[in-house]
Amino acid sequence: MKVRIFDMKKYNICVLGATGLVGSEMLKILIERDFPFENMVLLASSRSAGTVSHAADRDIVVKDADEETFEGIDIALFAGGEIASGDYAAKAVKAGCVVIDNSAYFRMDPEVPLVVPEVNPDALEGHKGIIANPNCSTIQMVAALKPLYDRAGIERVVVATYQSVAGTGKAALEELKNQSADILEGRDARISCYPHRIAFSLIPQIGSFGVNGYSSEEMKMINETKKILGDDSVRVTATTVRVPVEFGHCESVNVQTKTKLSAKEAADILSSAPGVRVYDDPAASVYPMPIVCAGRDEVFVGRIREDLSIDNGIEMWIAADNIRKGAALNAVQIAEELIKRNLI
């Protein structure tokens, strides 16, 4: 879905964290989707400043974010992590910029819309300069939950995730490869990004743990889902797990709806949902997997079946590229939606 810009207005864009995995994907997606940008400012920490990025047939020198005034920039895509978001967002907004922030910093702020454009675009109306991009695992789950919610209501969601290392960043991708090679060749695996070895293993920890025993990633899925659906009565519990996969998050999602949906009804509803692709022919071994969703825009849903343990339950298996729909693409789609609604 490309935005048709009839007035051909172009925007000055800035990407903060432009040298990271999400930032560089944002750049790629802006160009892929012919986003109407005029000037492109790329920002990073002083450590990465000075590198040259080749985008849209231009060589752009990455600047130190500390030296940026954000004057003249219309839209800033922030992918520099929570600390950078805290440091620069207020300054950018003050300079007249709309910030679309990929970090968790502003997500639960009641003044800040938390948006998946296919799910709750109306939340963008009346924004105050900052829009938060939800957590990667949450985005793909709510994309599949919303159409079911609209039709049948949702009582409760039980989710277990299978999350790729790309969510941690470039260093984790290297670590998975290096550890895998070390183990295949009989060497000890060197551990740096995670508390334990990830190659040929699993780690049931994403983020840090609260006193209730839930990890920060699990609490994000619980709280952000309620905020995006705009319904605190939806009950959610989550277990989030890192798996030795490069790109693409998978989720086993058990949904208890208010009224009964057959598996076929659920599949039909999801088939016409925006941004969702039903990929579900298990007898032919067709179901979402990391190798299916990596590099793709859609949220893939399969293994759709009626829960045998309750009357109003649907089981489904969801996969999406966590760097694209789970981060960079969703942020760019928010920018497109802001333009479409004249909110910039």
Q: Which residues bind its own copies (CB under 8 A)?
A: 156-158, 160, 162, 176-177, 180-181, 184, 195-197, 200-205, 209, 212-215, 222, 235-237, 239, 241, 243-246, 250, 252, 254, 263, 282-283, 285, 287-291, 302-310, 313, 315, 317
In angstroms, give the least distance from the CB of 199 to its own copies.
8
The span from the first CA to the last CA of the chain, in angstroms, equals 19
Closer CB to its own copies, 88 or 279, in the complex = 279
Could you give the CA distance from residue 313 to residue 332 in angstroms, rounded to a whole number? 34
Residue 90 CB contacts under 8 Å (≥ 6 apart), including other chains: none
Min dist CB 165 to its own copies, Å, is 9
Comparing CB distances to its own copies, the nearer of 44 and 166 is 166
* Least distance in angstroms from the C-beta of 107 to its own copies: 18
- Look up residue 245 and give its DSSP letter: -
The CB-of-246 to its own copies minimum distance in angstroms stands at 6
Phi, psi of 320 (to 5 degrees): -155, 155
Least separation, in Å, of the C-beta of 142 and its own copies?
16
Instruction: Choose between 243 and 332: whose C-beta lies nearer to its own copies.
Output: 243
Select 10 or 187, whichever has its Cβ closest to its own copies.
187
Among 14, 97, 127, 249, the active-site one is 249
> What's phi and psi for 244, nearest 5 deg?
-80, 65
Q: Measured between alpha carbons, how far is 255 from 85 in angstroms, rounded to an integer?
A: 34
Q: Which is nearer to its own copies, 12 or 252 (CB)?
A: 252
CB contact at 8 A, 275 and 180? no
Coil, strand, or helix at residue 42?
Answer: strand
Least Cβ distance, residue 194 to its own copies (angstroms): 9
Distances (CA, A) of 275 to 28, 140, 156, 278: 19, 9, 23, 10
Q: Helix, strand or coil for residue 159? A: strand
Could you give phi then psi for residue 233, rounded to 5 degrees?
Answer: -80, -10
Query: Rounded CA gap, 109 and 104, in Å?
Result: 10
Sequence-distant (≥ 6) Cβ neighbours of residue 258 within 8 angstroms: 152, 153, 154, 155, 312
d(CA 43, CA 89): 13
Is 14 tagged catalytic?
A: no
Nearer to its own copies among residue 45 and residue 135 (C-beta): 135
Among 14, 97, 127, 136, the active-site one is 136
Smallest gap from Cβ 104 to its own copies, in A, equals: 18
Residue 64's H or E segment, with its range, is strand 63-64
Residue (71 or 281) nearer to its own copies, CB:
281
Tokens of 261: 């949906």
The CA-based dihedral angle spanning residues 49, 54, 57, 63, taken in that order and rounded to the nearest 10 degrees: -10
Amino acid at 293: C
Residues annotated as part of the active site: 136, 249
